[in-house]
Every structure is written in C-alpha cells, then in structure tokens.
Amino acid sequence: MQRRKFITAGLLAGSAVLATACGKKEEKKPEAPAVQTKKSYEWRMVTTWPKNFPGLGTGANKLAQYITDASEGRLKVTVYGGGEVVPPLESFDAVSKGTAEMGHGAAYYWKGKSPATQFFAAVPFGLNAQETNAWIYSGGGQKLWDDLYAQFNLKPFLAGNTGVQMGGWFNREINSLDDMNGLKIRMPGLGGDVLTAIGAVANTLPGGEIFTSLQSGAIDATEWVGPYNDLAFGFYKVAKFYYYPGWHEPGTALEAFVNKQAYDALPADLQQIVTVACQAANNDMLAEFTAKNGDALATLVNEHNVQLKRFPDEVLKKLSTVSEEVVSDVASGDADAKKVYENFSAFRSKVSKWTTLSEVGFSEARDL
C-alpha cells in the first residue's frame, strides 16, 4: 500500500516537472522573423532615339525591362523617347543634373562636353564590335570611361552595338575625291571631322530630323546605321545610292549612362543587376542587327531598287590617312582624349593582328 502511494506520488511529481519543462520550452520559442520590406526605386530613362525605334529605341526598352524584371520591380525603369522629356541631344545633361536617372545614346554625341567621349562610340577605321567589347571589358577601356564620365556625375555602361555600319545614303554617285568636296552630309563624331577635313560639310542631326533634311535638300547625304534601321526610316524614298563600307563606324557602341548619385544610392544587388542587364542588352542588340541586316538589305535592293555602291579605293585610302591625322589631332588637344587615345591605339594595334588572322582569314576562306 505504501509502495503504491509512493509510485503514484512520483508519477504525479514527474508529470508536474514535465509540464513545467514543456511550458518553459514553449515560452522560449522564438517568434517568426518579421518580413523585411526592401526599398524600391523608380528611374526615368531618357534616350536620343525616336520612341520604340527598331534596334536602338527597342534596345533601350529591352534594357529597362531586364532591370525591372530582374529586380522583381524593386528598380522600375520607364523609357522616354527623344523629345518626350528632353530633346534627344540634351539627355546627357539631363542625367548629369539628375532630371532623369538614366540615359541611352551614343557617346560621340557628347564631343562638345569632352572630345574623349567619341572613343567610346566609334572611331574611323577603329575597332569592330567584337574588338570594342574586348577593349571595354578586358582591355582597360571601362576604367578610362568611368574616370571620364565621373567628371560629369555619370556612370557609363556598354548597352548595345550595331556592328559595322553602312557608308551612307547619297543623292549622287561618288566616283572620286572631288565628289566629296562641298558635300553636305549628316555624320556625327570623328567621322564628321574627317569629312570636313577633306572638304565636305558635315553636321550632327538627331535621327528624327534626317529624312526631312535629306528630302528638302538641306543635306545631300546621310549616314545612319545600316539596312535594318535605314529601311525603317525609309531613306530609299529620298536617296538611291547606298554606299559601303562604314569606314567611319566599324562597330558603333551604344551606351547607358546613369546619374552617379542615383547609382551609388542603390544596394549592391541592384547595382549588379544594372551592370549585368547592360551586358545582356549589349549582346542582344548586336545579335539583332546581325540577324536582320541581311534581309533588310535584300529588301532595299530587290524591292526598292536601291543601288548598292562601294566607295572607290582612292576615297577609302584618303579617308584612312586623314582619319589618323584627325584622331591624333583630337588627342593632342585634350589631356583626357590623349589618355584614352593612347590606350585605344595600343589595344587596336594588338587586337587587329589577331582579327586579321582569325576573323578576316576565316571569312576569306569561307568565301572561296
């Protein structure tokens, strides 16, 4: 009897201890962590291109979409075509001042800000698209670009490439150097400087003004991009002579430029998303132009009776010689341009030997 009472008392005591222990364990159970709401950002991207223009304008759209989607909406980018917020050629200043957080264009439009900017778009007889990527990503070009644009409160990125462009649309044939004298042509950047040096009259016009200027006779010729874009602009309606090669823009880089305060304010993951999205957009644009230029050229020639012409060797040789002189003069007159030019030239000299051996060598063999 005593033994039974002892066992019962022990069980009751043990149950009490267990209940107490369980109660203490439940009291110490941590609460579920609070959901952390990450800050979101909204950016405006102003461009130099007409709204939704094939290749260039749509390339800006694609970049904005990449950033918005990859960030799951934490960084939403809205695109505005040239003239919607600011005039096309004022987008650089707008982003620099913070009117917009991001811009999309071509660096040679900003030569009035610094002549060094032109090296990051296109240099006559310079680098093709593949070589440009190599220079910026692996040849020291990005550091030089960052240092230059930091003076304007901007962070630059490669964001597209047209590949080798066409030489342009002309309302008369070019048979000799004499035919270039007095020619009124739309050509921006260093290419325009070269044409001016051989007697042409070069100017810079935004894309939306080219057709009417050529139609009215305000200009005699224009370069734009290549068959894909030129077909969309309808240049075949106002000029029939279409010249190649695009000596002035052998691989035109497009850029995204970001207000430095806006970029620095982003957390590291969103900065990385912007960087990788620009790389993806750069690759996508070159693929698009490469895929579509051939079909567009066939349409221009076969359906619109465009006369495809190659610049005479005499003209190309003169342009090459003068290009070296003009680019060297630009570099000698500005400390930033000189620094970029020296790096650019050294890289071009090195990489061109491999390009000739590999890419050109293969192309010649394939066409035998």
> H or E element: which one contains 272?
helix 268-304
Single pTM value for the model = 0.86
Q: What is the CB neighbour count within 10 angstroms for residue 330?
A: 20
DSSP state, residue 73: T
pLDDT digits (tens, 9 = 90+) for 113-164: 999 999 999 999 999 999 999 999 999 999 999 999 999 999 999 999 999 9
In whole angstroms, what separates CA 332 from the centre of its chain? 27
Banded pLDDT at 29 (limits 50, 70, 90): low
pLDDT digits (tens, 9 = 90+) for 232-259: 999 999 999 999 999 999 999 999 999 9
Q: How far apart are alpha carbons 49 and 127 in whole angstroms?
A: 23
* Token digits of residue 228: 């894909």
What value does the CA radius of gyration of the chain take, rounded to a whole number of Å?
30
- pLDDT at position 17: 38
Q: How far apart are alpha carbons 343 and 345 in whole angstroms?
A: 6
Q: What mean pLDDT value characterizes the chain? A: 91
For 139, half-sphere exposure in the C-beta direction (CA atoms, 13 angstrom radius) is 21
